[in-house]
Structure 1
Amino acid sequence: MNIWVDADACPVVIKEILFRAAERTQIMTTFIANHSFRIPPSQFIKRLQVEKGFDVADNVIAQRVAPGDLVITQDIPLADEVITKQAIALTPRGELLTASNIKSRLNMRDFFDTLRASGVETGGPSALSNADKKAFADELDKALAKAR
């Protein structure tokens, strides 16, 4: 198992949880982003900086993910692709995306895109709460335990 992180929009606190998990489990964790950021020195943590551009990091993750890998992403189309490749998709808010719930999430995403395109203000996501952080850590632990 490898862990792939769509790091462009991943909150710092979630990255820190992942840094600790990579060290604790000794699972290779790769953070992919189109901007530079710091990672701790570790043989289990890598950073891959890709070119700036629409979905460049997502495309790299989709190309490299293998069955059984874990992908951390908020991007619903990427999660759908990951699930199709028999990998695991987990959002930074701790929502495990699966074959049974991804299509409804894609439909909801498309609906909100249509609303925004027609000029309706839909607002953005709420700030990451302590409950979100705990949900993420709990789901991450479950995924890692299942992989072992």
Structure 2
Amino acid sequence: MGCAISGLAAKAEFGERNTGDDAAAPAAAAYLREDQIQMIKESWKVIRDDIAKVGIIMFVRLFETHPECKDVFFLFRDVEDLERLRSSRELRAHGLRVMSFIEKSVARLDQLERLDALALELGKSHYHYNAPPKYYSVRT
């Protein structure tokens, strides 16, 4: 997975034993201890209460800090006024879809096969949307 916590660094940080077969390393969630998974799930409950609002905040912040990313989203690429984006129904809908994906991922942190299948489906859909690979790092 192209997750920021994958690879050897995650093994060191989350206490996973090195199996010697890093090319076939399982999903990053395999590196999380049960107490860490529970902490993530408990933290998510706070975000879930305002899931649509958090989705908007996340995208507006992304576009503020990395304006070049806005070009990937044809609905938003010509919108210069970030205040207008904050009230956009389209951005709200997309933010909600992204946050819903995160919610499903959090729910599957202890079900690695289902988490991998979910990530694969997301990758397939973004491939069909012609999402530029330069925005995704690949780590094994």
Taking structure 2 as the reference length, what is the TM-score of the superposition? 0.28
**Relative contact order, higher structure (CA 8 A, sep 6+):** 2
Q: Larger helix proportion, structure 1 or 2?
A: 2
Whichever structure has more strand as a proportion of its residues is 1
User: Rg bigger for which structure?
Assistant: 2
Give TM-score scaled by structure 1 length.
0.27
